[in-house]
């Protein structure tokens, strides 16, 4: 004897079911499902706290402890991974100041990792092949691409966000470069910080100095390479850089024709910090 087939009749969805389905669909659309919470809350922290923490741990008055970066690679890699996760759409929504600060930090962090990954090395110029300088190596990911240091500096900064004072902020791992700050660059304080770094760089007699006896203004080679970034044709370079020098030098240079001599560039690595007996003999721009 066979039993009669049992037909299950599905009840019509009630109001509670329809409400639950609506909320589920709403969660998918707005990105509020549990798997999407991290993405929704992952807006980039424009204060760059992870970078500041790393700098304060491994940078002392501009000197970089590269051996320590070799021993502890994870924080630098994690910070650069976080920068790489920023989409171009998010980046483009930021203010000009926040974008500039992001790119300066990106350049400096990528430079540190490049040197770290080739440590020990006595100069960044020793990195790369016979026909490839370190600045033309694809070294850092961002916006779905792998960029060179030249890409960051010459395209995304100098071309897209022109600001001559970036040359006081970008640190190429050499002793004649501007000193690496122990805090991250931030858009909120960018204007004041760029001006402060300009004054610090121009106030360093190992890199720039005015010799009144000879009437010669000794300047960093940075002004030879990028002089056009600083001058607009109305003022001579000496008068432009004078705005960041001490008052008596600034007044001396105002409206006065002086001879400019560019110093040799010391490409020795900017770290680790040399012994006290050697520190006074380095980077005299000779």
Position 70 in a domain: yes
Q: Taking the model in full, what pTM does it have?
A: 0.83
101 located within any domain: yes
pLDDT tens digits, one per residue of 211-223:
999 999 999 999 9
Helix 96-117 with 74-84: angle, nearest 10 deg: 140
Domain count, the chain: 1
Flag whether 191 is in a domain: yes
The answer as to whether 186 is a domain residue is yes
- Predicted local confidence at residue 142, as pLDDT: 98
Is residue 96 domain-resident?
yes
Domain span at 53: 46-205+266-276
Question: What are the residue ranges of helices labelled H in 118-218?
Answer: 149-150, 190-202
The answer to the question of residue 174 being in a domain is yes
In a domain, 34, yes or no: no
Instruction: Report which of 230, 233, 235, 234 is spatially closest to residue 220, judged by C-alpha positions.
Output: 230
Residue 148 lies in a domain: yes
Summarised one tens digit per residue, pLDDT across range 137-187 is 999 999 999 999 999 999 999 999 999 999 999 999 999 999 999 999 999
């Amino acid at each position: 004897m066979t039993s009669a087939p049992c037909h299950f009749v599905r009840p019509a969805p009630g109001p509670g079911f329809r409400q639950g389905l609506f909320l589920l669909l709403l969660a998918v659309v707005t990105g509020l499902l549990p798997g999407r919470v991290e993405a929704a809350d992952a807006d980039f922290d424009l204060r760059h706290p992870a970078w500041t923490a790393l700098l304060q741990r491994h940078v002392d008055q501009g000197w970089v402890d590269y051996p320590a970066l070799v021993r502890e690679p994870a924080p630098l890699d994690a910070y650069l991974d976080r920068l790489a996760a920023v989409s171009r759409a998010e980046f483009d929504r930021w203010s000009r100041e926040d974008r500039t600060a992001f790119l300066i930090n990106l350049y400096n962090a990528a430079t540190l990792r490049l040197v770290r990954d080739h440590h020990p090395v006595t100069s960044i110029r020793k990195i790369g092949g016979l026909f490839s300088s370190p600045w033309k190596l694809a070294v850092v990911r961002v916006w779905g691409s792998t960029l060179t240091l030249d890409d960051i500096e010459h395209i995304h900064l100098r071309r897209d966000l022109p600001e001559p004072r970036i040359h006081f902020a970008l640190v190429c791992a050499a002793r004649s470069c501007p000193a690496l700050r122990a805090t991250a660059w931030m858009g909120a304080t960018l204007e004041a910080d760029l001006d402060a770094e300009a004054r610090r760089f121009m106030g360093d007699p190992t890199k720039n100095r005015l010799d009144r006896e000879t009437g010669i203004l000794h300047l960093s080679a940075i002004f030879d390479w990028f002089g056009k970034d600083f001058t607009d044709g109305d003022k001579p370079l000496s008068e432009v850089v004078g705005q960041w020098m001490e008052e008596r030098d600034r007044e001396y240079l105002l409206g006065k024709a002086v001879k400019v001599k560019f110093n040799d560039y010391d490409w020795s690595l900017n770290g680790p910090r040399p012994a006290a007996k050697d520190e006074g003999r380095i980077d005299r721009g000779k």
